[in-house]
């Protein structure tokens, strides 16, 4: 039902969609220019037509109706915008965490392969420390000349 006009790829589209949703919800309450929270509370209904108290509390926390139980268009859009920003922040944190995990995984793989290489060299009868020192002296020679 809402798929035709709900877009949230940008913050501006999210705000425009929230305004359209508010206007459509307001159609369910004729003769009123402010949305009663009871209209949104219908989202908290269970399959047996009872209100799930946890869902209702989450809706109240998200949309914050006034003392009369009404929700202005501005408050509705602000609430949706707050949720949108929270989701974008969560996505950014997940992306950052993924990058950090990837870097740590690369570091751990490098350490693992160095240890496996040292064990293999030791198994072949070669002193791994001597191999490391010879490679490090070559690397230091190139580093010092630049």
CATH, residue 61: 1.10.238.10
Q: Which of 95, 117, 134 is the last residue of a domain?
A: 95
2 located within any domain = no
Task: Tell whether 51 and 67 lie within a shared domain.
Answer: yes
Task: Tell whether 116 and 62 lie within a shared domain.
Answer: no
Contacts of 83 (CB under 8 A, 6+ apart): 62
Nearest to 68 by CA among 38, 93, 46: 38
**Confidence class for position 146, pLDDT limits 50, 70, 90:** low
Task: Tell whether 116 and 60 lie within a shared domain.
Answer: no
Answer for the pair 34, 72: CB distance below 8 angstroms, yes or no.
Answer: yes
6 located within any domain = no
pLDDT at 132: 84
Task: Tell whether 128 and 77 lie within a shared domain.
Answer: no
Answer for the pair 20, 5: CB distance below 8 angstroms, yes or no.
Answer: yes
Q: How far apart are CA 18 and CA 35, in angstroms?
A: 13
State pLDDT tens for residues 53-104.
Answer: 888 888 888 888 888 888 889 999 999 999 999 999 999 999 999 999 999 9
Task: Tell whether 19 and 38 lie within a shared domain.
Answer: yes
Q: How far apart are CA 18 and CA 78, in angstroms?
A: 9
CA dihedral 36, 37, 42, 43 (to 10 degrees): 130
Task: Tell whether 28 and 89 lie within a shared domain.
Answer: yes
Domains held by the chain: number: 2
5 located within any domain = no
State pLDDT tens for residues 1-49.
Answer: 444 446 778 888 889 898 988 988 888 888 888 888 888 888 888 888 8
Q: How far apart are CA 62 and CA 76, in angstroms?
A: 9
pLDDT at 2: 46
Give the gyration radius of the chain's Cα atoms.
30
- List beta partners, residue 70: 36
Task: Tell whether 26 and 84 lie within a shared domain.
Answer: yes
**Confidence class for position 145, pLDDT limits 50, 70, 90:** low
Choose the weakest-confidence range: 2-6, 119-123, 130-134.
2-6
49 located within any domain = yes
Domain that holds residue 88: 11-95
Task: Tell whether 91 and 113 lie within a shared domain.
Answer: no
3 located within any domain = no
């Amino acid at each position: 039902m809402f798929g035709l006009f709900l877009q949230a790829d940008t913050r501006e589209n999210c705000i425009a969609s929230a305004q359209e949703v508010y206007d459509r919800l307001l159609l369910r309450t004729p003769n009123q220019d402010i949305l009663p929270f009871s209209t949104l509370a219908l989202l908290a209904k269970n399959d047996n037509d009872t209100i799930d108290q946890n869902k209702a509390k989450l809706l109240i926390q998200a949309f914050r109706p006034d003392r009369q139980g009404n929700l202005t268009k501005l408050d509705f859009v602000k609430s949706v915008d707050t949720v949108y920003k929270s989701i974008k922040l969560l996505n950014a944190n997940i992306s950052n965490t993924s990058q950090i995990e990837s870097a740590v995984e690369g570091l751990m793989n490098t350490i693992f392969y160095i240890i496996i290489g040292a064990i293999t060299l030791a198994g072949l009868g070669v002193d791994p420390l001597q191999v490391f020192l010879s490679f490090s002296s070559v690397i230091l020679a190139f580093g010092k000349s630049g």
